Structures are given as structure tokens and as C-alpha cells.
Amino acid sequence: MSDNNIVDIAEKRQPEEWRKYIKVGAVTVILVGLVAVLLSNLFIVEQGEYKVVRQFGEVVRIEDEPGLKFKVPFIQSVTTLPKYQMVYDIPTAEINTRDKKRMLADHYALWRIENPHNMISNVGTFQRAEAIMGELIFSAIRAELGQLDFDQIINEDEGSRGGINEMVKERVNEALARNNYGIILTDVRMKRTDLPEENEEAVYRRMISERQSTAQDYLSQGDAEANRIRANTDREVQEILATANADANEIIGEGEAEAAQIYNDSFGRDPEFYQLYRTLQSYEQTINDQTVIVLPADSPYARILMGYLD
């Protein structure tokens, strides 16, 4: 038998085993690819967000319930929109008040997406939604503050500011609903109000002048009140003194009358003593260092003066 007719079974079996390994590897690769494609097209909807599923650029559905979701591979894509309330810092704007004063108003707003489908259809992007809302807020603020005087706006009374904020919110939400923008303004607040730099100095001077005028009014009122109090006090003092003098004169008169009555009663008991007492009193009134008296030596007046009492 020729050697060419002899077949090595081991050599024939080796290619068959390699083909089996190749098949297993190919199946594994396919399975791994399918799993990878499956996992890449799963997405998670978290609390506080919308997932927008698009197909060839068109919105096919919006997922808003938390959980694991699936999209069609290769032809669908997913974008995210916030579901929670957001803060929008409105750029500072210059407005004119009713009394023709210029001022800078700085506000911030709280807003959220209420209908993501309408927002995407009628607005487009998140940034465009903020821009539209900012324009509407500025227009409403300018309209509301333009009906007030400058002093009313800068007043620190939160009640008046709160009323302005509510009216601005109503105006903006009416415009947003009318155009089906799918967003809603939940609150708007004034952070601060400033004056344009070119107006600050003039306003400060006016404020200083007004304060000085007010202070002068207070001083004038104080002086007038002080003069009134002094006049009333002087009048009351004169009345009190007049009453006291009248009372004193009355008491003195009563005392003198009572003393005279006592003198009369006392002197009436001894007329001679009374005559002596009156004579002595006359000496006090008429005689001094230079007095010269010419009297008869035997007159009673001279005798008493010289000490002869009998």
C-alpha cells in the first residue's frame, strides 16, 4: 500500500476543533454586542427631571416618572430637562418712575417647566425659555414701577413691594399661558434698587437739603413750643405771685387789725401808761443828735424827757 493513501487522523481532527472555537467566540462577541447595545439604550429617569425622547429630531415621548426606561437603539436619543424649581437672576435694568426719576432695578425670579412638550415645541431650548421669561419680566416690571414715584419704590415697606411682585407675576404668567410656552413663573423678588451713577450725586444733595429743611422745621417748631411754654409759665408765676401777695396783704391786714385791737384793749386798761408809751414813741420820731427843742421846764412832755415821772 502506498504511503499516499495513509491519512493522519490527528491532523484531520485539529482544523475541526479550531472551527468550533471560532464559532463559540463569534457567538460570544455577538451576545456581548447585543448586551452592550441593550445597556446603552437603557436610561434612568430620576426624581426632579424630565427625559425627552427624540426620534430623528422630533419628540416622541416625555418620561417624567422615576425609573428605568428604554429607547430604540440608534434612531432615538434622550435629553434631560429639570423638573424642579429654578432661580433666574434677571439682569439689572434701568427704568423711569412716574415722577421722571431714573433708577436701576435688580430682580430675581423662581420658575419651573410645567409642560415640557409645549416648551420644546413653542420655545425650543432651556436658554431660550429663560431669555423669553426675562424679557416678559422686564416689561412687566417697567410697566408696574413706571406707575409709582421714586420714593414709593425705595420705601422699605415690604407690603408695598410684595404687591408689586404679585402684579408682575400675574402679568408674566398671563403672557406665558397665552403663548403656550409651557413654563410658569412661581415668584419674582426685588433684590435692590440703585441710582445711575450720573444721578447719585444730585439725589444725595437733594436728600441732604430735604433733611436740613426738615431739621429746620423741627427746630422752629421746638422754638415756638419753648416760647409758648415760657409764656405760659411766666403767666402762671405772675398769677401765683399776685395771689400770694393778695393773701399776704390780707393776712398782714388781719394781723395789724388784731394787733391794734390788742393795743386798744391793753391801753384802755391804763390810760396814763398809754399816754407815757405814746410820748416815748414820739421821742423816737422827733429827737436825734441835732434836735433842738424849746419847751417850758414844767411841761409834762419836758418833765418826762428829763426823767421826772411824778
The full set of domain ranges for the chain reads: 3-79, 86-194, 272-305
DSSP state of 39: H
Model pLDDT, residue 102 = 77
What is the tens place of the pLDDT at every residue in 205-231?
777 888 888 898 898 999 899 999 999
Span 98-125, average pLDDT: 85
Q: What is the pLDDT of residue 18?
A: 63
Nearest C-alpha neighbor of 41 from the set 73, 65, 66: 73
* Cα distance between residue 188 and residue 136, in whole Å: 12
What gap in Å lies between CA 152 and CA 193, rounded to an integer?
12
% of residues, the chain, pLDDT over 70 = 71
pLDDT (tens digit, 9 = 90+) per residue, 30-73?
Answer: 766 666 656 557 777 788 888 888 888 787 788 888 877 777 77
Q: How far apart are CA 172 and CA 178, in angstroms?
A: 10
C-alpha cell at 218: 423741627
Give CATH superfamily name and number for 86-194.
Band 7 domain (3.30.479.30)
The number of helix segments (H) and strand segments (E) in the chain equals 8, 9
Run of H or E residues at 254: helix 197-269
The set of cell numbers assigned to 286 is 422827733
Of residues 236 and 62, the one with the higher pLDDT is 236
Q: What are the φ and ψ backbone dihedral angles of 111, each rounded to 5 degrees?
A: -145, 165
Q: Which long-range contacts (CB under 8 A, 24 or more apart) does 9-14 make?
A: none
Beta bridge partners of 192: 106
- Give burial (CB, 10 Å; 0-12/13-18/19+) of 153: buried
Radius of gyration for the chain, computed over Cα atoms and rounded to the nearest angstrom:
59
